[in-house]
Chains A and B, each alone.
Chain A
Amino acid sequence: MFNFHKDHKNLVNTALSGFVFLSIIVAVLPAYQLQDVEPLPKQPELTEEALKGLNVFISEGCVACHTQQVRNIEMDKIWGARPSIPSDYYYSKQRLDVWRQSPSLLGSERTGPDLTNIGKRQPGQQWHLLHLYNPRSVVSVSIMPAYPWLFEEKDTISIREDDIIVPVGPNFYNKAGKKIVAKEEALQLVAYLQSLKQPEIQGEIPIDFIPAAKKKREKGNAEQASNSLPDGQQLYMQTCSACHQENGQGLVGAFPPLAGSAVVQDENPELLIKIILQGYDARSEYAQMPPFADQLTDAEIAAIANHERSSWGNDAPPISEEEVKKIRAFVTQLN
């Protein structure tokens, strides 16, 4: 019947229909069904500004290096509190316009960090602007491209009130009488990045992380030696070093140094812990620091504080989880 060797019509028709059939089963139908999701109850819609920022994000090709998916395996825990679910993409993955389709936000390569929760990890606008103007001005070993075309040089006199000045350090921009001012696109992009916060799910989380066997065993050991704190240096690298730098020197004009800081080395750690919990915006020469009360546990804060108090020439007595707990209780009471 199917004389493929001699009947070209038959051959071509069979190959076509076979492929179309398989494609419908494995791609078109599942894709069609997956469109049918609803947003999470507390999930905020993208603001107009953030949506414009998403357009900049796509047009600069950021998805080539940054994923936006927390996989359900333990190593992805640092990128979000729970594995990503289809609803997470309800507002962001819609067709952009007539010419462009729904953006490929999930990504396939993590040359840079995952951005699912970047709005929570790095809430400050100033940090983002500095980072976009030149990533190496805040993260010295970064290999991310700089985006100077999202900014403009302005004479100090012609700067308007509503212009947002980027405090680029002298090593990266140093022209007398001129400042770097963020263009609209930069502000939109930052608004989009700030909006990236993994929405919380009330009640039971539908899927959990697949644990790594090794970590499980370590946990067992850790429980035996109950008093030990987590690795402060590692936590510092993950949470604090983007601004205060690995060497604790901070950045002139943007983020204060921790090395040699009186606050960090104070015998009484109260102010240090308060700043970590509540954030800090008391000194005009530096950018605002976001609060970390929701992101870090008492033990983690104690570990970070101890790392800061004992590194880069700092030498102050260690603090315990208990002290942090007390101050947290006091701070929550005030609020």
Chain B
Amino acid sequence: MSKKIIGVTIGLLLPGAVLFAQSKAISTNNWLMNPGIIGTLILIAIILAVSIIILSYRLNAYIQGLKKKQSSKERLAFSEELIALEASEIDEILAHRKKALAYKLSGAELGSDRKAVDDKGLITKVSNDPENPLFDEKKKTAISLETPDDLKKVIIYYLGAAVFWLVFGTLIGQYLGMKFVWPEMDSISWLSFGRLRPVHTNTVFWGWASMAMIGLGYFVITRTSNTAIHSYKQAWQAWFLINFSVALGNILLMAGINNGGGEYREYIWPVTLLFAIGLVITFRNFYRTVAQRKISEIYISNWFILASLLWTIVLVIIAYLPNFQNGLGETVIQGYYMHQGVGMWFMTFTLGLVYYFLPASLNKPIYSYSLGVLAFWTQMLFYTMIGTHHFVFSPLPWWLQTVAIVFSVGMFIPVTAGTTNFLMTMRGSWSQISKSYVLPFFLVGVIFYFVGSSQGSLQAFRFTNYVWHFTDFNVAHSHMTMYGIITFLLWACIYFMLPKLTGKEPPQALVGAHFWLAFIGLFAYMISMMAGGTLKGLSWIEGNAFLESVILMRPFWIWRAIGGSLMFLSHLIFAYNFFFMIKKEQVVEIPARRLQSVNV
């Protein structure tokens, strides 16, 4: 009994002891056995497992096809049996068969000689070769939703701008990735690495993700409030302001005019001011719409969406106020801002979207409303406090770093609450994954939500920071979250909503191509940067010359560029799918001659 107690006590103390030991002397002898690194490896394994599950669904379909072949073999065996029969036996069977063949239907056995007509529009597709489809047929979208034309136009324009910025922003990203492999690609000042890097990040942040989120937000806000949007005019004003600020900001960045190099606040204040006004207008518009709602409850999605707009406005103000930005004050604000930009704006808003779109696409309610509320308040509490974990071991005050690390661990609460909620909502509907082209995007997004966020928490530990900070591992983390979580979830929402608005579905094979290229590309990107980043960190710890870490990264940078190319390719396909969905319906005239041949 007492042994047990001692054992438990040691068990409880050990992780603590490990943590305390780290602050004194850091040993890299057993770096593979470090909790932060083990945790990260497990998280990567989770993603691999999920992709294997999706793949196994596909394989299953393929095996079913093989089984059919088996049955045809059995038929062959049967005919061989026939050959072995006696002549008299065969005669008897044939006579019987002849009689059967001579039998003719009068044409009126079922009591009707009417033509077969599909009066209720139940048949959507006629296939000539149902036995051998190249891809599994996905379920078609259910009835389209009645949406006012004005709102439809607003949403499509927001999403259209987002798609443009996605393609543009990732083209830049791809170009930057190639510069790591071929630094001499160009020597034009406007295209040099230092100036173009913020163009990539700011475009995908404020252009792609922000525009897509707000566009989808207009749909969610109106539907869950059961009312029309407060003002269409304001929606257009915000559209112009945000797009203009991204375009102007990018041109200035390329011209060498930036705010001071702090990540994600490279736009100078007049440019960001335009963006902030766009946010204020959007917030007012959303808030008024919720205030006029026709149902008494405020749906949880609207909590997240309204709060994220509000928080981001505060965030931008704090980030640009000059009163506390000299010396290391700027560094504190930088850590706070770059983390909250992701956490309070992209994460919070996108979660709000998922709380609506995920249950809607499964056609059932969210698993737990209260869990959503818990996730909301803990998101605010924990996320706000952790910015300084970008500056562990820096000259910033030790207490600030410790607060950031402790609250980073606290992030497990909102993340676990959210993930559980989403997965439990999906539970019982797993078989729909292979039948839907929307759900795989949701599943990957939700899994990355858990993996990416938890990995971020683990990376805040002092040991993992020791190995990974300043290396390419950070780049892997930011793509895991902004791409794996935000972008995949936004795609899921768009593929679910847009066909219902326009009544046009994208070609399924192309949605599949989009999904797999993006997923495999991201995986190659992530793994190469993680592996390379770890080796780089270990090389620094060994005290090797800095140049050696540049040389050792070369193969990983090549793999990153390959992964990036796949991702970019998938965006081109996505852009095509998007235009396919919003293309105006064309009346197809079938020539009379063709019609006749169909009748025959």
Contact across chains for A106 and B287 when beta carbons are under 8 A apart: no
Contact across chains for A210 and B311 when beta carbons are under 8 A apart: no
- Knowing A4-B303, A143-B183, the reply to whether A108 touches B263 (Cβ < 8 A) is yes
- Knowing A58-B258, A214-B29, the reply to whether A141 touches B545 (Cβ < 8 A) is no
Contact across chains for A147 and B192 when beta carbons are under 8 A apart: yes
Contact across chains for B198 and A64 when beta carbons are under 8 A apart: yes
- Knowing A58-B260, A108-B263, the reply to whether A101 touches B400 (Cβ < 8 A) is no
B312 CB, min distance to chain A CBs, angstroms: 10
- For the complex, give the distance between the alpha carbons of A55 and B278 in Å: 30
Residues of B within 8 A of A238 (CB): 545-546
Closest A residue to B395 using CB positions: A84
- Knowing A27-B318, A30-B397, A108-B474, the reply to whether A210 touches B332 (Cβ < 8 A) is no
A-contact bits for B256-278, CB 8 A (1 contact / 0 none): 11111111000011100000000
Interface size on B, residues (CB 8 A): 93
B465 CB, min distance to chain A CBs, angstroms: 9
B-contact bits for A51-67, CB 8 A (1 contact / 0 none): 00000001111111101
A270 CB, min distance to chain B CBs, angstroms: 28
Contact across chains for A106 and B394 when beta carbons are under 8 A apart: yes
- For the complex, give the distance between the alpha carbons of A129 and B494 in Å: 51
Contact across chains for B330 and A104 when beta carbons are under 8 A apart: yes
A110 CB, min distance to chain B CBs, angstroms: 4
Q: Is A282 positioned at the interface, with any CB of B under 8 Å from its CB?
A: no
Residues of B within 8 A of A110 (CB): 470-471
B593 CB, min distance to chain A CBs, angstroms: 62
- Stretch from A15-23, A194-202, A257-265 forming part of the interface with B: A15-23
Closest B residue to A61 using CB positions: B194
Q: Is A8 positioned at the interface, with any CB of B under 8 Å from its CB?
A: yes
A71 CB, min distance to chain B CBs, angstroms: 4
Q: Is A325 positioned at the interface, with any CB of B under 8 Å from its CB?
A: no
- For the complex, give the distance between the alpha carbons of A32 and B330 in Å: 9
Contact across chains for A60 and B195 when beta carbons are under 8 A apart: yes
Residues of B within 8 A of A241 (CB): 545, 547
- For the complex, give the distance between the alpha carbons of A216 and B344 in Å: 43
Contact across chains for A12 and B393 when beta carbons are under 8 A apart: no
Range for the number of chain A residues in contact with chain B: 35 or more
B-contact bits for A94-109, CB 8 A (1 contact / 0 none): 1110011111111111
Which residues of B, 389-440, contact A by the 8 Å Cβ criterion? 390-391, 393-397, 400, 403
Residue ranges of B at the interface with A (Cβ–Cβ < 8 Å)? 23-29, 179-180, 183-184, 187, 189, 192-195, 197-198, 256-263, 268-270, 287, 290-291, 296-298, 303, 306-307, 310-311, 314-315, 318, 320, 322-334, 336, 344, 373, 380-381, 384-385, 387-388, 390-391, 393-397, 400, 403, 466, 469-472, 474-475, 540-541, 543-548, 550-551
Contact sample, A vs B, 29 pairs, CB 8 Å cutoff: A8-B291, A12-B287, A12-B306, A15-B303, A23-B384, A26-B336, A26-B384, A27-B332, A31-B324, A31-B329, A32-B324, A32-B329, A35-B328, A62-B194, A71-B469, A72-B393, A75-B540, A83-B395, A100-B259, A101-B269, A104-B260, A104-B330, A104-B331, A142-B183, A148-B187, A210-B393, A214-B29, A234-B543, A238-B546
